[in-house]
Structure 1
Amino acid sequence: MPREVEPPIVQREFVLTALKESIRIDGRQLLQGRQPQLIFGDELGWVECALGKTRVIARVSGTIGRPRPDRPFEGSFTIHSEISPMASSVYEAGRLSEEEVLITRMLEKVLKRSDAVDREALCILAGQQVWQIKLTLHFLSDEGNMLDCACLAGVAALRHFRRPEVEVVGEEVIIHDPTERAPIPLSIHHTPICVTLAFFEDSEHPIVDPNHLESLLMDSQLNIALTHLSSSTSPTLCVFQKAGGMPLTADEIRNCVEIAVRRARVLSEWLEKKIKGDWEGRKASIEVH
């Protein structure tokens, strides 16, 4: 992957000096994340998420196919990503970038290996037909922290998606048209939320949700994914991944997890309201017509 040009020395010193005084150049507090935005498409399972100027489109699709021989009772769930050259000049069309690989691997851990999607519920006819669910992510703009934005877009699209109802009569599989029977949501075990923190050698405190310039200058990065974030349950650590050479003490790690829990709970509550609001709007539109 082509490397981005390092920021000018003056700009670098300005940002790092500001961080020493607990000031960020975009006006946020050190632990303040950008407010996300979600746009739900007319197509179920199509969602655009924006985190500041970082933008990601997530689309979920489903087809019927044969299960893996060693998993006859499970459907499949795959994740594909594509960073458009529009996102930044360092990305090239048709060429897999290092950033894209890292994000996809992280999302595989967060969404797939954690069993967020119930794959057994995707089975139609054991050993013969199952649902194959595909999550596709298109990165349109990189203004920092594409991972958190992609994770939020992905879980929103999975929650928003509906598949046709399927009926099995003997050995015959009947797929009902959505106009005949209401489509069915995916069975989701949990809704993980990613929180990214950045560290700087000259700053005592981490920052939440680094923007593009902060990402270029940071010395270490910590990605934390959490689930079971309602106020009535204890949060569950889903994925913990550190990149960079700055060492962290046990107390610093505990503090980072507490910071991530607070941020993730805010995002989780916000996401629930957005999804609920979208469905209420769709129901009202159907009733009017």
Structure 2
Amino acid sequence: MPRPPSPSIPEKEFLFNSLKESLRLDGRQSLEMRDPVFTFGPDLGWVECALGKTRVLAQLDGKMVKPTPERPLEGIITINSEISPMASSDYEPGRPSDEEVTMTRMLDKVLRRSDAIDKESLCILAGQRVWHLRLTIHCLADAGNLLDCACLAGIVAFRHYRRPEVEVVGEEVIIHHPSERAPVPLSMHHTPFCFTFAYFPDPNTPPILDPSHLEQRLSAGLISIALNAQKELCVIQKAGGVPLSQEQVLGAIDIAVGKAVELDRIVTQRLEEDWKGRKVEIR
């Protein structure tokens, strides 16, 4: 399917003139995020996250495997992501777009390489048995800022997941059913969140947080900042575009810190609400 034509000149002019006056088409302020909405599935580790009309489904499952020879005391975490053509007409089947490649790499940095999960806690028998956690990200609808939504869905899936209780007797590994023993939460060092800012060619236009699809397409550059509520910086990624000064980058980080604290509170509250509604005892 051919890509849709670029936005018309009147659309561009209207958007740019609105942003100069700190007005956005959906009524948000320049540095205001869309409210996240979480839907939890029947299985632990199944989470759908929505930012406005942008929707991402994250599924986490685990199984016991033999560890890699170079890391015999650590579990394994793999992340797979896909952007279906149904998410937007911008994506073509069978060929990953630049956005998909960029998102996959960023997800790996934020969720796996930042050591959010304690990999050593996933070891059952040193050199013989460890947990292999596989996170699958399905992008259902792209209405802008797919990366932040995918990162949020992924980290919430990790916090929502519970692995079965395991008992080691000699060389035998016994996996207990949830009805016998309560499943165990993952040991996590921190909870990173990703925040994307869009910049525009006109210096009089302020940067915006959580860009919509049209804002993202018409921006001159994006910067994505991943950090946690403890103000620990994990990843900064700038996808080309206009050069940014040190003050601009530090200003974006300060804004992201405040948003991370707020987002962590929202996520914790929603997880507690979901756990209270479940019949299975979760400790």
Measured against the shorter chain, the TM-score band is over 0.9
Q: Structure 2 vs 1, CA of residues 94 and 179 (structure 1 numbering), >3 Å: closer, same or farther? A: farther
Residue 277 of structure 2 corresponds to residue 281 of structure 1: yes
Measured against aligned partners, the alpha-carbon deviations of 1:209-244 in whole angstroms (never above 9, x if no partner) come to: 0000001000010100111x1xxxx41111111112
Give me the whole-angstrom Cα distance separating, in 2, the residues matched to 1:138 and 1:154.
10
Give me the whole-angstrom Cα distance separating, in 1, the residues matched to 2:63 and 2:210.
35
Aligned residue pairs total: 280
Q: In the TM superposition, what are the counterparts of 1:72-111 in structure 2 within 5 Å?
A: 72-111=72-111
Q: In the TM superposition, what are the counterparts of 1:114-263 in structure 2 within 5 Å?
A: 114-202=114-202, 203-227=204-228, 229=229, 234-263=230-259
CA RMSD of aligned residues (A): 1.5
Q: Structure 2 vs 1, CA of residues 111 and 2 (structure 1 numbering), >3 Å: closer, same or farther? A: farther
Unaligned runs of 5+ in 2: none
Offset of residue 247 of structure 1: 1.4
**Contact 1:2–1:91, Cα closer than 8 Å, also in 2:** no
Matched letter for residue 252 of structure 1: Q
Give me the whole-angstrom Cα distance separating, in 2, the residues matched to 1:147 and 1:109.
12
Q: Structure 2 vs 1, CA of residues 186 and 2 (structure 1 numbering), >3 Å: closer, same or farther? A: farther
Offset of residue 3 of structure 1: 5.3
Deviates more, 1:133-142 or 1:200-209: 200-209
SS in 2 for 1:244: coil
Counterpart of 2:263 (choices 267, 277, 287) is 267
SS in 2 for 1:86: helix
Equivalent residue for 1:49? 49
Give me the whole-angstrom Cα distance separating, in 1, the residues matched to 2:111 and 2:82.
17
Matched letter for residue 16 of structure 1: F
Equivalent residue for 2:5? 5
Measured against aligned partners, the alpha-carbon deviations of 1:12-45 in whole angstroms (never above 9, x if no partner) come to: 1110111111111111110111011000111100
Deviates more, 1:243-252 or 1:180-189: 243-252
Offset of residue 254 of structure 1: 1.4
Matched letter for residue 206 of structure 2: H
Give me the whole-angstrom Cα distance separating, in 1, the residues matched to 2:246 and 2:219.
21
Give me the whole-angstrom Cα distance separating, in 2, the residues matched to 1:179 and 1:95.
44
Measured against aligned partners, the alpha-carbon deviations of 1:38-71 in whole angstroms (never above 9, x if no partner) come to: 0011110000000000000000000111100000
The percent identity for this pair of structures is 59
Matched letter for residue 146 of structure 1: L
**Contact 2:82–2:138, Cα closer than 8 Å, also in 1:** yes
Give me the whole-angstrom Cα distance separating, in 2, the residues matched to 1:211 and 1:117.
30
Measured against aligned partners, the alpha-carbon deviations of 1:137-169 in whole angstroms (never above 9, x if no partner) come to: 000000000111011111111000011111111
Measured against aligned partners, the alpha-carbon deviations of 1:68-95 in whole angstroms (never above 9, x if no partner) come to: 0000111100100011111011223333
Deviates more, 1:46-55 or 1:81-90: 81-90
Q: TM-score, normalised by structure 1?
A: 0.93
Offset of residue 261 of structure 1: 1.2
Matched letter for residue 253 of structure 1: V
Matched letter for residue 249 of structure 2: I
SS in 2 for 1:71: coil
Q: Structure 2 vs 1, CA of residues 286 and 240 (structure 1 numbering), >3 Å: closer, same or farther? A: closer
Runs of 4 or more, structure 1, over 6 Å off, are none
**Contact 2:75–2:121, Cα closer than 8 Å, also in 1:** yes
Unaligned runs of 5+ in 1: none
Give me the whole-angstrom Cα distance separating, in 1, the residues matched to 2:67 and 2:2.
39
